[in-house]
A and B are shown apart, each in its own frame.
Chain A
């Protein structure tokens, strides 16, 4: 059979009987723990403290003997041993890529490095997803993506080059220019956040372009926001573009995607189980939850050599259902409805992670600030906006124009360039708190 007629990027492991898939995961886990123990001082300390050694990992169930890895521990390790901590297994000089994501507190971002092999693997995981959603070498793929330090669609771009697609980057373009090029080049696949896919659709309307008639887009692949798995949002995107909309999800800590929707779209994305172990646990007890119950994603990744990620608590809320829910033939289980929410208070704004306590850390660097509030809204049904309202101390004087500009810059710098609106509140306008402060208002519609 010619390669392009295959339904699967990797027929051998995507359709492995479940017991074989589990056996493969067990073998990879043993090797991963062995490598991590001997090459990552962070992991060696973690495992020594827990009294577990690589030779204790004999079966897949033994994964539960391993301690969790948390973002907080990772960030503390980076702060203690800048820039990358001793979690990394190789010297910085061995890396070819550097990316970062906003931190959970303050200005310190989470920094990641990738080797040449890691970067190729990152693209390969996207290949599972793109091929699975029907993308082929004959497609022309457009990336509405800024190509900055945020990892975003970087791996997907290289995936398309690897697959042999005509791959269009649009880092420096305006929305109007993007719409124009999509039509002009006969683009068949568009990649964007769900929010931005809608925005491009609205812009096209304003330009007098009917994307369904004037364009050739047959697939819209979204990522970066939970909205990609919300049926109402998908329908809006499909109505605008005339092509099928499919969701993917990944994270900077992994470097790539771990789930993708296949062409059958059974109501959620498949897990790439030959490359990841995705546990779903009760966030409080840490015990596994049954199929069909909500819990926290805890991920183990087999692919990134620079940064071993083993039992990493993602704080994403998911609901796993068996692969038999889908008729495509893949044996990777499904996250029904995609990423359903968060266990913690992190917010996703235009694809960027925002932690309220990180915003507070930046705002509180300015002694003139008396009180503040973070307000998240959705403009024109598509554009997420984040505004920090600031109330000044009575004796702050006429510092506002300078403070407004400085805060806007500092907040953007701490969040991969994300634009924050900074507004002055009147004296006494913002609520005060005696106990647990609630300074964040998320006014976006809940689906």
Chain B
């Protein structure tokens, strides 16, 4: 992730960066079509949970699109 601030322009903390990184990685996995169903479905479940954390903490405002 290249974002340096949250939606309010505040600097991101180490925890924020970790959450954003996890979300980005899970989103990338969720968008893939070559993984077995067990991986895709569970990545999507995990990804939307991370979306909630990042969205609630005002780190992102987007639709993941691959849920």
Contacts and interface: CB of A to CB of B under 8 A. Distances in A.
A116 B61 contact: no
B56 interface: yes
Contacts of B52: 120-121, 124
A151 to B, nearest CB: 18
Contacts of B45: 116
A13 interface: yes
A154 interface: no
Contacts of A274: 56, 58
A24 B52 CA distance: 16
Interface stretch (A27-35, A217-225, A330-338): A27-35
A12 interface: yes
Nearest to B9: A23
B34 interface: no
Query: A-side binding surface: helix, strand, loop or mixed?
Result: helix
A35 B7 CA distance: 17
A39 to B, nearest CB: 8
Given A24-B7, A27-B7, A121-B52, A115 B67 contact: yes
Contacts of B28: none
Interface string A87-127: 00000001000000000000000000001110111001000
A6 interface: no
Interface in B12-57: 44-45, 48-49, 51-52, 55-57
B5 to A, nearest CB: 12
A305 interface: yes
B56 A124 contact: yes
Q: Which of B56, B62, B64 has the most CB of A within 10 A?
A: B56
Nearest to B57: A12
A119 B57 CA distance: 18
B44 A116 contact: yes
Contacts of B58: 12-13, 24, 274
Contacts of B64: 117
Contacts of A117: 48, 51, 63-64, 67
A13 B56 contact: yes
A10 interface: yes
B8 interface: yes
B48 A120 contact: yes
Contacts of A13: 56-58
A20 interface: yes
A117 B50 CA distance: 10
Given A24-B7, A27-B7, A274-B56, A120 B51 contact: yes
11 contacts: A10-B56, A13-B58, A16-B8, A28-B61, A31-B61, A35-B63, A116-B45, A117-B51, A120-B49, A124-B52, A162-B49
